[in-house]
Structure 1
Amino acid sequence: MSDISYRDLAVQGLWKNNPGLVQILGMCPMMAISNTVVNSLGLAMATILTMVVSNGLASVIRHWVRPEVRLPVFVMVVASVVTVIELWMNAYLNTLYHVLGIFLPLIVTNCIVIARVEGFAARNPVLPSLYDGLMMGLGFGLVLVALGVIRELLGFGTLLANAQQLFGPMAANWTIHVLPEQAHFLLAILPPGAFMALAILIAIKQAIEQCRAARLAQPVALELPKAATAS
């Protein structure tokens, strides 16, 4: 499709149609894993890679898959990609692999992945599909990491704790202690804290959108009295 705008795909994935803040998809792993920055980064990277590769493969095979079996075939494609990622993490990031646990294989059933494969990649060429997967994955990943920052900071008073699980032994001393122990807000690392943090992020996005809409409408409001006076 020659009318595809890569800029629009980026804006949709990162802001206007963000999977975490607008579509509210992938809530289960988002709430469960985002208690630390490292856990959030690990799941975000796995999800982004899954979306990019799955979108690309689905776009490649879309002309050879009959509509009646398209969805099962695409689910098998996603499952194959997730299995490869899961085996790689088990081999090279074993500790993080066990921390993420069941939420790694559950990427197969993540609504974000299935929605983009079926809704976009199945109808568009390879390059736009790869880019769409990257932008939607980044949008989801940024929300996931933002939740991880808020929850780890308030709940544990640290940032990048256990960074060696993702970055190796060289990151053993990367932990940043921000808050004293008596200032920890333990509710932040529990499921209710995850919902509260996500609600704050959604509220911030809505406030930004409203301020932008008000700024755009202000010149129009100023021009109306002038036009009335002239008439």
Structure 2
Amino acid sequence: MKSIKLSLSLALIATMAFAEEKTSDIGMSANMSITSNYVWRGMTQSHNSAAVQGGVDLDYKGLYVGVWGSNVDFSDDKNSLEADVYAGYTGELEGIGFDIGAIQYIYPNMSDEYNFAEVYFGLSKEWEKFGLSAKYSVGVDTDDLDPEDYWEVGASVKLPYDIGFAASYGDYDNIGTNYSVGLNKSFEKFDLSVAYIDFNHDTDSSSDEDNVVATLSFSF
């Protein structure tokens, strides 16, 4: 009887340990930020006004899912919110990081024809004081919308006093190109960044944009 009880106890302990190990493999993080202007791919999404943003992410051995939201203002409609839902897998192969996934952009107060999705693939490489990245996003066609593809390349440099420099260039098919240069600084769980962002439309019917954006982010 004692041996049976001992076996049951060991089995229970092993099961609990396995469950605890599985639970510990699941990571959860959240983020919040305040920005002077919500600029996406070079274009303001908040009518050149401030925005409050936040999201939650879950990850398990490279797999991840997340939600993110922000207030928006397109001036000529009633929408005031953007909500994004995404999932993917990230890892590293031969020292090169990769990220593949899909994202759905949702505007709750607008008709369904404004909502759209993308699938994306990104690569990154980090050295001691330098980093490179590239990402390609493919718009998913629907009956209501035929979103364009977008690609972007970026570089980062670690400067003295734990200050970072970042630059990027992106091309949104048939819409326009953008570039950004900026500085960032981390303070424990806070991140402060300031960037100059320029956008050039492909057509004369829309105005080009240039913005200086300051963002304070908090992660936990």
Q: Which category of TM-score, normalised to the shorter sequence, fits these structures?
A: under 0.3
Greater RCO, 1 or 2 (C-alpha within 8 Å, sep 6+): 1
Q: Answer 1 or 2: which has greater helix percent.
A: 1
TM-score, normalised to structure 2, is: 0.26
TM-score, normalised to structure 1, is: 0.25
